[in-house]
C-alpha cells in the first residue's frame, strides 16, 4: 500500500461524454437530459483547487450511456490516442448504465498503457445537493494525476473510480441502480480506496513492460456476438435462434453456478452444432462471484466436451468487449478462441 502526493504540475484531460453526472431536469417533460461541461465546472468549484492543469473535451452529442455504440468507443480511443502525449492522465465522464462495457472494451483496444484512463460518473447529477458526482470527479482527477517518486503513473490502467473505490475497468459490473455504490469488482480487489488518503494497492496494479513504450491502439471491432442466458424452461427454438443465428460469430453462454447448463440431449446437440460451424462459444457464469469450472459437474463437462471455452471469472461485459476486440483484429475464429483463453489485460484469472 502507498499513498501519493502529487508531483510536478500534472495535466489531465477530462472527456465529457454525458451521463447523469452532467444531466438536469428538462422542465418540458421532467426527464433528465445532459447539459454542457461549463456547468459541471461551475457546480464543482473544487476542481479549480486541483494542483495541476485540466483541459476538457466535450463529445457531441452528449449521450445517455444507454446509447453507446461501437463508434463511440472508437471515438473515445482516438481522442485519448491523439492527446496521449500532451497529458498525464485521462478522466472520462460517462453514464453509469454502460460504463463497465465501455471500460472493458477500451481496456482491450489499447496495449501498453503508461497513463491512467479513469472512468467516472454519478448516481445523482452534480447540480443536486446530495450528489455523489463531486467526490467521484475530484478523486478521479487526483488518481489520474498520481505518480510515484520516479514520475510514473501509479495506476496506468483503464479503471472505474466510483464511491471511494478504484477498480480495474474490465473487472467491474454495475450492481445498483439506486445506491451510491453502483459498481463492484467481484473477482478482483480494488486497486485503490479513497478515505482521508487514497490508498493504492500497488501489488494489484498492472504495469507496462516499458514506460518508454507508446501504446498501440486497435480500434477495429466486430460486434457479431450474442448472449444466451440459460434458464429453466428455455426452449429449443430460443437456443437454436441464438446459437445458430446467421449473423453470430460468437456466443457468450451465461450459465448457472460454476458453468453448468441443461444436460438434455437437444441442448447439447445444438451446442455441438454451433461449435461444428466454428462459432466461438464462451461460458460465463450468471454468478457474479467465482469462476467457471467445467470439470466440476457432468453438465459443465458436457459443454466443455462440446467445444465451449471457459470464460473463467470474467464478467459478461468483459467477455463481450474482449470478443468485439479480438474478432475485430482477426477473421480467424481459431485465433480468437486461442486468445480468449489468455489473460490479456488482467480481466481473468486463468
Ligand atoms: N442513464 C444514465 C446513463 O447511463 C445513468 C447514469 O449515468 O447514472 O447515462
Which structural domains are found in the chain, ordered by start?
Answer: 11-217 (3.40.50.1170), 225-340 (3.40.50.40)
Catalytic annotation present for 20: yes
- Which atom number of ligand 1 is nearest to the Cα of residue 121? 7
132 lines ligand 1 (CB under 6 A): no
The pLDDT value given to residue 25: 81
Spacing, Cα 337 to ligand 1 middle (Å): 33
Q: Give me the mean pLDDT over the 142-160 stretch.
A: 97
97 lines ligand 1 (CB under 6 A): yes
Nearest residue to 198 (alpha-carbon basis) of 145, 124, 150, 149: 145
**Which band of pLDDT confidence, cut at 50, 70 and 90, is reported for residue 153?**
very high
Q: Is there a cis peptide before residue 290, judged by omega within 30 degrees of 0? A: no
Does residue 8 come out as left (phi exceeding 0), alpha (psi in the -120 to 50 range) or beta? left
Look at residue 209 and tell me whether its pLDDT is greater than 60: yes
Q: Give me the mean pLDDT over the 288-315 stretch.
A: 94
Percentage of the residues of the chain whose pLDDT score is greater than 90: 85
The pLDDT value given to residue 181: 96
The pLDDT value given to residue 213: 84
346 lines ligand 1 (CB under 6 A): no
**Which band of pLDDT confidence, cut at 50, 70 and 90, is reported for residue 23?**
confident
Q: What string of DSSP letters covers 138-154?
A: HHHHHHHH-B-TTS-BS
Under 8 Å CB-to-CB from 173, ≥6 apart: which residues? Answer: 100, 183, 184, 185, 186, 288, 315, 316, 317
The pLDDT value given to residue 31: 86
Contact 126, 44 (CB under 8 A): yes
Which residue is listed with cell 480481466? 347
Rounded Cα gap, residues 338 and 315, in angstroms: 19
pLDDT tens digits, 28-68: 888 887 777 777 778 888 888 888 999 999 999 999 999 99
pLDDT tens digits, 262-282: 999 999 999 999 999 999 999
Of 18, 19, 67, the residue with max ligand 1 atoms within 8 A of its CB, to mutate for a pocket test, comes to: 19
Rounded Cα gap, residues 77 and 109, in angstroms: 7
**Which band of pLDDT confidence, cut at 50, 70 and 90, is reported for residue 184?**
very high
Of the listed ranges 8-22, 104-118, 232-246, the least confidently predicted one is 8-22
The pLDDT value given to residue 127: 86
- Decide: residue 79, CB within 10 A, 0-12 exposed, 13-18 middle, 19+ buried: middle
Residues paired with 118 in a beta bridge: 91, 159
H-run or E-run covering 162:
strand 158-162
- Which atom number of ligand 1 is nearest to the Cα of residue 66? 4
Report angle CA 202, 311, 325 to the nearest 5 degrees.
80
What phi and psi, each to the nearest 5 degrees, are found at residue 124?
-120, 140
The pLDDT value given to residue 5: 47
The set of cell numbers assigned to 186 is 467481484
How far is the CA of 145 from the CAs of 21, 47, 78, 161, 193, in angstroms? 21, 13, 21, 13, 15
19 lines ligand 1 (CB under 6 A): yes
Look at residue 133 and tell me whether its pLDDT is greater than 70: yes
102 lines ligand 1 (CB under 6 A): no
- Which atom number of ligand 1 is nearest to the Cα of residue 18? 9
34 lines ligand 1 (CB under 6 A): no
Look at residue 6 and tell me whether its pLDDT is greater than 90: no
DSSP state of 350: -
The set of cell numbers assigned to 23 is 444531466
The pLDDT value given to residue 43: 84
H-run or E-run covering 58:
strand 53-63
Q: What sign results for the dihedral spanned by CA atoms 186, 81, 331, 65?
A: positive
The pTM of this model reads: 0.95
Spacing, Cα 65 to ligand 1 middle (Å): 6
64 lines ligand 1 (CB under 6 A): yes
The pLDDT value given to residue 34: 76
- Which atom number of ligand 1 is nearest to the Cα of residue 64? 9
120 lines ligand 1 (CB under 6 A): no
Residue nearest to atom 3 of ligand 1 (CA): 95
Higher-confidence position of 46 and 2: 46
Spacing, Cα 274 to ligand 1 middle (Å): 36
**Which band of pLDDT confidence, cut at 50, 70 and 90, is reported for residue 119?**
very high
The pLDDT value given to residue 7: 53
Amino acid at each position: 500500500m502507498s499513498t501519493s502526493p502529487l508531483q510536478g504540475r500534472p495535466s489531465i484531460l477530462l472527456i465529457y461524454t454525458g451521463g447523469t453526472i452532467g444531466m438536469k431536469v428538462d422542465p418540458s417533460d421532467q426527464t433528465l437530459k445532459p447539459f454542457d461541461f461549463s456547468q459541471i465546472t461551475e457546480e464543482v468549484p473544487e476542481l479549480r483547487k486541483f494542483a495541476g492543469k485540466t483541459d476538457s473535451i466535450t463529445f457531441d452529442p452528449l449521450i445517455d450511456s444507454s446509447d453507446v455504440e461501437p463508434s463511440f468507443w472508437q471515438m473515445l480511443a482516438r481522442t485519448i490516442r491523439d492527446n496521449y502525449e500532451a497529458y498525464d492522465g485521462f478522466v472520462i465522464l460517462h453514464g453509469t448504465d454502460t460504463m463497465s462495457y465501455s471500460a472493458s472494451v477500451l481496456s482491450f483496444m489499447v496495449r501498453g498503457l503508461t497513463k491512467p484512463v479513469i472512468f467516472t460518473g454519478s448516481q445523482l447529477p452534480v447540480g443536486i445537493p446530495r450528489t455523489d458526482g463531486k467526490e467521484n470527479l475530484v478523486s478521479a482527477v487526483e488518481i489520474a494525476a498520481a505518480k510515484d517518486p520516479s514520475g510514473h503513473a501509479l495506476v496506468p490502467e483503464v479503471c472505474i473510480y466510483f464511491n471511494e473505490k478504484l477498480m480495474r475497468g474490465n473487472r467491474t459490473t454495475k450492481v445498483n441502480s439506486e445506491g451510491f455504490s453502483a459498481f463492484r469488482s467481484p473477482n478482483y480487489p480494488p486497486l485503490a480506496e479513497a478515505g482521508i488518503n487514497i490508498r493504492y494497492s500497488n501489488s494489484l496494479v498492472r504495469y507496462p513492460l516499458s514506460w518508454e513504450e507508446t501504446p498501440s491502439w486497435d480500434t477495429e471491432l466486430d460486434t457479431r456476438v450474442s448472449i444466451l442466458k440459460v434458464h429453466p424452461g428455455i426452449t429449443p427454438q430460443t437456443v437454436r435462434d441464438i446459437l445458430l443465428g446467421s449473423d453470430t460469430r460468437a456466443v457468450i453462454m451465461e450459465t448457472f453456478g460454476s458453468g453448468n447448463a441443461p444436460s438434455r440431449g437437444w441442448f447439447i446437440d445444438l451446442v455441438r452444432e454451433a461449435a461444428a460451424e466454428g462459432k466461438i462459444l464462451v461460458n460465463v457464469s450468471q454468478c457474479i462471484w467465482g469462476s467457471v469450472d467445467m470439470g466440476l459437474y457432468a453438465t459443465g463437462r458436457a459443454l466443455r466436451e462440446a467445444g465451449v471455452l471457459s470464460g473463467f471469472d470474467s464478467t459478461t461485459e468483459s467477455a463481450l468487449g474482449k470478443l468485439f476486440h479480438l474478432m475485430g483484429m482477426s477473421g480467424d475464429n481459431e485465433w480468437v478462441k486461442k486468445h480468449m483463453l489468455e489473460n490479456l489485460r488482467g480481466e481473468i484469472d486463468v
